[in-house]
Amino acid sequence: MNIDIRMAHLFSALDDDQVRQVMESSHTGTLKDGESLFETGDEANRFFLVIGGQIKLFRVSSNGDQKIIDIIQPGNTFAEALMFMEHPIYPVSAEALGPAKVISFDNRRFLQILSGSIEVCFRIMGTMSQRLRGLIKEIDDLTLQSATTRLCALLLHRMEDVGQDHFTLPAAKGVLAARLSMKPETFSRILQNLSTKNILKTKSNEIQVLDENLLRSLAHLESIYGLEPEKPCVLKGQNISIDLN
């Protein structure tokens, strides 16, 4: 299978010769569902591009709880920032969510290419800046927003990604619940509440948005209204009462 790695933002500034150099030291691997790519603390001498399936990045707490840091979708790279560390190790573990395919790249070889291309240097700086802004936003979301707000925002983002109001959740409900720092039963309860209010129609992992405006309002509800959990609210002439925890 021929893959043009320039589909990924990180590689989009590479010319044909640079792509050839990068690919010379690359390896393509296929992972089974749940198969580990690397573990926390492993030596980080390679970074990755997902070309099929999904990769889950996570850490495990001292009591055994798993915190999902990110779910990497096809066309996205990860672990590239570690190449700039003197003695890099992976700060998270990575495993496949379902069957997945990734290309791995040698850090040292890519650094050699960076040393000869200012444009590529700026490209990778831009990519890492976007990641940093995303992480800062996630911290804000997790600390300042309710569970309902976070879930509605995820659904809106997914709807915008696929370009239609009927879509499949990007991962299992339990995985998404962990990603949003909530319990699976809370995730399911909020979906049921949204369905009862005719904002969504759900069937297994299939979602149909019935009222985009109200869903969008709920996604920004807490920042607009400063609501406390369980407090009823009125939006656009409609009385709704949804558990915000």
Residue 141 has a pLDDT of 53
- Asked if the structure places residue 245 within a domain, the reply is no
Least confident of 96-100, 176-180, 217-221, 224-228: 224-228
Looking at per-residue pLDDT, the higher value among 187 and 62 belongs to: 187
37 phi and psi angles, rounded to 5 deg:
-95, -45
- Asked if the structure places residue 21 within a domain, the reply is yes
pLDDT digits (tens, 9 = 90+) for 190-203: 999 899 989 999 99
Three-class SS of residue 215?
A: helix
Question: CA distances (Å), 127 to each of 23, 36, 231, in order?
Answer: 20, 25, 40
Q: Are residues 104 and 152 in the same domain?
A: no
Answer whether residue 243 shows pLDDT above 50: no
Domain end marker among 138, 155, 186: 138
Q: Are residues 151 and 110 in the same domain?
A: no
Domain of residue 76 covers 5-138
Domain total of the chain = 2
Q: Are residues 131 and 149 in the same domain?
A: no
pLDDT digits (tens, 9 = 90+) for 132-189: 676 666 665 555 467 888 899 889 988 988 899 999 998 888 888 888 888 888 899 8
Q: Are β-strands 27-31 and 77-78 bridged in parallel, bridged antiparallel, or unpaired? A: unpaired
Question: CA distances (Å), 94 to each of 44, 81, 85, 225, in order?
Answer: 12, 15, 19, 38
- Percentage with pLDDT > 90 across the chain: 34
